[in-house]
Each structure stands twice: as C-alpha cells, then as structure tokens.
C-alpha cells in the first residue's frame, strides 16, 4: 500500500526515506492555468526543481503542480484539491499552520530540508489559497474542475461520522466534491445513499436522531429538498422503479416504515407504517407492489403489500424452524437477481447468503461466506454473473480486516474471497461499463493509520477498487472522511 503523507512540496515518505534532493531553485513559470495570485504561491513555491514538477513527480507521490490541470490529476493516492472544500483538500491540510483555520498535518509544507530552509506559507498566502479552494479552485478562465458535464458518471460514499458525502468521478476514480448533509447541524450519520432509477437524484437517510430524508441532484450535487419523516434510526431505504416513491426503514425494536412521495417531497397517507421488529434491509419487487424487509433480530423477512401494509407476512428464511423460537441468524441486506427470479439475503450471524425463489419464497441455497456478511452489489453483465457481498470481519487473523466474497448467481456457487487490505469493508457499488467494483472500508476497529486528519473526529476510512473481470484488487486506494459506510453509483 502506498503511504501518502503529501502534500504540497515534498511528501514525507519519499523525502525522509529516499533522501530526495532538496528543492533548490524556483524555476516554476507563473501562469499555467492558475489565477495569477495562486500561481505566485503554488508554481513559485511548490512546482520547483526536485519537487512537484512533471519531471520529478515520480519521487513526489506522483503529484505535479506545474499546471492547474496537473493539480486536478491528483497523486497516487487520489485528489489533492477538492473544489469548495478546503477542509478536505490535502493541498490545504499540509500547508496550514493555524489550528483555528482547520486541521494541521505535519510536516508542514513547504518542507525545510538539509541546507535549504523554506518558510511556511504566510497568513496572507494561506487565506488566498483557502478562499480560492472554497470558491471552487477555478482556473485563470474561471473554469471549475469536474463542473463541465452534467451527465458525468459518479459514485457516492456516505461518511457517517462527518455528515458529508464524498462524490467520485467514476472514470478517474478521483474525489470531486464533498457534500454537506444533515438537518440539525450535529452529527446525524448519513447511513444509506441511493441513486434513483432514472439517475436524476440521490437520497440519503440518517441513523442518529434522524428526522428527514434528503434529496440531491446528480447533475450538480446540489440539495433539491428534504422530507420530514419523524425521529428514528432511519437505516435503509428503497426507491420505486418509477423513481417517484421511497420506503425508509426505522431500525428499532418497534420499528416503522415511512412511505414517501419523493417526486413531490411529501409523506404518503397512512405513513409511517408500524408493527415491525428491528426491520433493516429493504428491497422492492420489480413492479413496485411488494416491499421486502429483513428482520435483523429474527429468522424471517417481512413481505409487505404496498397497498395494504397491515396484511404483511413473515417469511421464514431458516426453514423448518419457527422464526420466533429459533436462534437469530441476523438477516441484514436483501437484493434481487438481474432477472428478478431470485432474491439473496445476507445473514450476519450464520455467515452465509441465503437464496430464495421469488415466485414462491422457497429456499434454493445456503452459501457460506466470510464473517459478518452485510451489503450487496450485483453485476448485470452476462460475462460476469457475480454477486458481491462485503464481510466485515476476517476470521483468519486477529485483525478486523474483512473481505469481499464473490458468488456466481447463475450456478449459486461461491467463487472467491477478495481481501481489500483495509479494515471493515461495508458499502459496495458496481459499474458494469467500466468493469470496476467500489468498496467502502470503515476502518474504525483496529484501523490502518490514515495519511492525514481532517475536521472530523475519528479515523479516516478508505475506498478500494476491484477489477470486475479479473476479480483482483486494484492498486490505488483512496482515503476519505471518517466512517465511509454506504455507496451508490450513478450509471
């Protein structure tokens, strides 16, 4: 794994370990796409010989700062400047010297080394840099990175301990934006994120003192509204095939289900529905008339007619046991096969995935996987008929590392166990067109030390990537804010 302490002059790992030669003469050219006042800071003090230039970037974490375009290529660890968010931009984090302005990461850049003392940026320079980032970090013509394509393919990651969503560009796999979420100003923990089937909006629910579900446009990541649904541990949710309705699950001993009109941002008559015990994972039939919800404290799922929710059934997932009398296997998530003939349920305690025929809810298979299986992603490609399930715990070591297990949903056979190298994989998403799987690694128990700190309390998490064709973990791992939990993909 690449150690990425970065950032703006010489990364620590390379400067200390390899004895990189000192940054000597300022040879950077003013301009190169930067506004003039930013050029005087970055080009003159950072893109210098032996430091962040095209010629020397291989010894500087792969980062060149010679031009504005180079800046937004990032480095080997991902993006270094997040437009509108200085507090998550390592360009700021490793140049800041004032705790009152944000996190201070050491060593401070520009880095003094050997016989070449270099002063930190002045307060005026830091204010100029911070204001520029917070205004979108535009180039000299006013262009803002990643703002040129409203149909851009993206994926989104919730950060539970920070109340932000990290927005990634699917093609480059770089962080583009951090979106602030929540209604109260305190930590509400954005738990799940989903993109509507029509691709126009994404939504997030909140599990700590949550009262709303929030809606954002995928075109520009701006908030489009919110619906008050009452206090609850609003955990998972599912959106109807026509993108007009949603069902939000309150994970409580006396749980509720909020039925909402997300097109007109209103609660549906008769909502919320009650009478559910620790409801958790949710799925919806292809025509949108039947809601499936896992009971995490039992061995059954709720099968709920949308037009008559009081007539719900309890479908055993551990036959022939009686659900109320058998030891709970903790069904967590539910997902349908691409042809909708089957549904899959991850069972945390029994460490397996259970497969059911949708037409009659009969058990087809029990497939053993890693410890504590939770979230699913499924490929729609004929050449890669894979169901991926994140398993939070790795039982083979004393560490809480986890795995992603792969099931062939055509043969209903376990295919492979993939180690993501980072602790506690949870959220997972998939892009068939680009042949990549995205994994959110929470990194909260026995964590791998992150490269930097931000404004959030706790240890930063990571997003890792798996090649869909070879089922190999890709080399680049991206650090994000604290407790990345859920992933959604705009295709």
- Which two tokens mark 356? 């059911």
Q: How confident is the model at residue 396 (pLDDT cuts 50, 70, 90)?
A: low
Cα–Cα distances (Å) from 191 to 159, 205, 390, 438, 465, in that order, read: 8, 6, 16, 17, 21
Residue 60 is predicted with a pLDDT of 73
Give the whole-angstrom CA distance, residue 486 versus residue 171. 20
Does pLDDT of 9 surpass 90?
Answer: no
Q: Residues 6 or more apart from 335 whose CB is under 8 A from it?
A: 283, 343, 344, 376, 378, 387
> Has residue 108 got a pLDDT over 80?
no
Q: 154 forms bridges with which residues in the sheet? A: 169, 490
pLDDT computed for residue 23 by the predictor: 42
- Residue 296 has phi, psi (to 5 degrees) of -75, -15
- At residue 113, does pLDDT exceed 70? no
Question: What is the rounded average pLDDT of the residues 37-41?
Answer: 93
pLDDT of residue 169: 97
**Mean confidence (pLDDT) of the chain:** 88
- Answer for the pair 344, 355: CB distance below 8 angstroms, yes or no: yes
More confident residue, 323 or 409: 409
What's the rounded mean pLDDT across residues 90-99?
89
Instruction: Copy the structure tokens of residue 444.
Output: 């909260």
For residue 400, the model assigns a pLDDT of 63
The predicted-structure confidence for 20-36, as pLDDT tens digits, reads as follows 233 433 333 445 899 99
Q: What is the pLDDT of residues 128-166, one digit of tens each?
A: 999 999 999 999 999 999 999 999 999 999 999 999 999
Domains delineated in the chain: 1-145 (no CATH), 154-490 (2.130.10.10)
Helices (H), 8-106: 12-17, 36-45, 68-71, 90-93
- Omega before 272 within 30 of 0, i.e. cis: yes
In this prediction, residue 31 carries a pLDDT of: 58
Q: What is the pLDDT of residue 129?
A: 96
* Cα–Cα distance measured from residue 365 to residue 91, given in angstroms and rounded to the nearest whole number: 51
Closest CA to 303 of 331, 326, 337: 331
- What percent of the chain clears pLDDT 90, i.e. is strictly above it? 72
Q: Does 12 have pLDDT greater than 50?
A: no
Query: Do the Cβ atoms of 316 and 295 come closer than 8 Å?
Result: no
Res. 178: pLDDT tops 80: yes
Give this prediction's pTM: 0.90
Residue 433's pLDDT band, with cuts at 50, 70 and 90, is very high
Would you state the pLDDT for residue 383? 96
**Residue 424, CA atoms < 13 Å, CB-side half-sphere:** 16
Task: Tell me what percent of the residues of the chain surpass a pLDDT of 70.
Answer: 89
Chain segment 382-395, per-residue pLDDT in tens = 999 999 999 998 76
The pLDDT of 105-134, averaged and rounded, is 79
pLDDT at 2 over 60: no
């Amino acid at each position: 794994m690449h150690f990425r302490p970065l950032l703006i002059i010489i990364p620590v790992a390379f400067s200390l370990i390899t004895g990189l030669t000192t940054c000597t003469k300022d040879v950077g050219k003013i301009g190169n796409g930067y506004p003039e006042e930013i050029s005087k800071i970055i080009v003159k003090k950072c893109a210098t010989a032996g430091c962040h230039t095209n010629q020397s970037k291989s010894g500087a974490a792969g980062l060149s700062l010679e031009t504005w375009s180079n800046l937004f290529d990032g480095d080997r660890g991902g993006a270094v400047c997040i437009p509108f968010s200085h507090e998550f931009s390592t360009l700021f984090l490793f140049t800041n010297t004032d705790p009152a302005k944000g996190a201070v990461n050491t060593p401070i850049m520009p880095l003094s080394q050997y016989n070449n003392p270099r002063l930190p940026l002045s307060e005026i320079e830091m204010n100029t840099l911070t204001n520029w980032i917070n205004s979108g970090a535009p180039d000299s013509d006013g262009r803002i990175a990643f703002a040129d394509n409203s149909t851009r393919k993206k994926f989104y990651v919730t950060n539970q301990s920070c109340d932000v969503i990290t927005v990634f560009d699917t093609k480059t796999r770089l962080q583009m934006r951090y979106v602030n979420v929540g209604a109260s100003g305190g930590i509400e923990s954005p738990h799940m994120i989903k993109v509507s089937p029509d691709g126009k909006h994404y939504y997030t629910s909140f599990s700590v003192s949550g009262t709303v579900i929030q809606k954002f446009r995928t075109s520009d990541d701006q908030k489009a509204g919110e619906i008050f649904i009452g206090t609850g541990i609003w955990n998972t949710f599912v959106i109807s095939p026509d993108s007009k309705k949603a069902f939000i699950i309150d994970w409580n001993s006396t749980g509720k289900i909020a039925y909402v009109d997300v097109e007109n941002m209103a609660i549906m008559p008769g909502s919320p529905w009650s009478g559910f015990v620790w409801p958790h994972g949710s799925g919806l039939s292809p025509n949108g008339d039947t809601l499936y919800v896992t009971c995490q404290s039992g061995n059954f799922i709720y099968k709920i007619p949308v037009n008559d929710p009081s007539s719900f059934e309890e479908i055993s997932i551990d036959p022939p046991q009686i659900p109320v009398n058998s030891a709970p296997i903790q069904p967590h998530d539910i997902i349908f096969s691409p042809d909708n003939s089957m549904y899959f349920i991850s069972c945390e305690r029994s460490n397996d995935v259970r497969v059911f025929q949708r037409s009659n809810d009969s058990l087809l298979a029990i497939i053993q996987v890693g410890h504590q299986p939770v979230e699913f992603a499924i490929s729609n490609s004929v050449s890669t008929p894979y169901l991926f399930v994140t398993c939070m715990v790795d039982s083979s070591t004393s560490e809480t590392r986890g795995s992603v297990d792969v099931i062939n949903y055509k043969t209903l056979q376990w295919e492979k166990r993939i180690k993501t190298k980072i602790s506690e994989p949870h959220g997972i998403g998939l892009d068939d067109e680009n042949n990549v799987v995205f994994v959110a690694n929470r990194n909260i128990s026995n964590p791998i030390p992150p490269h930097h700190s931000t404004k959030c309390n706790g240890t930063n998490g990571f997003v890792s990537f798996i090649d869909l064709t070879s089922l190999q973990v890709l080399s680049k791992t991206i650090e994000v804010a604290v407790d990345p939990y859920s992933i959604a993909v705009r295709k």
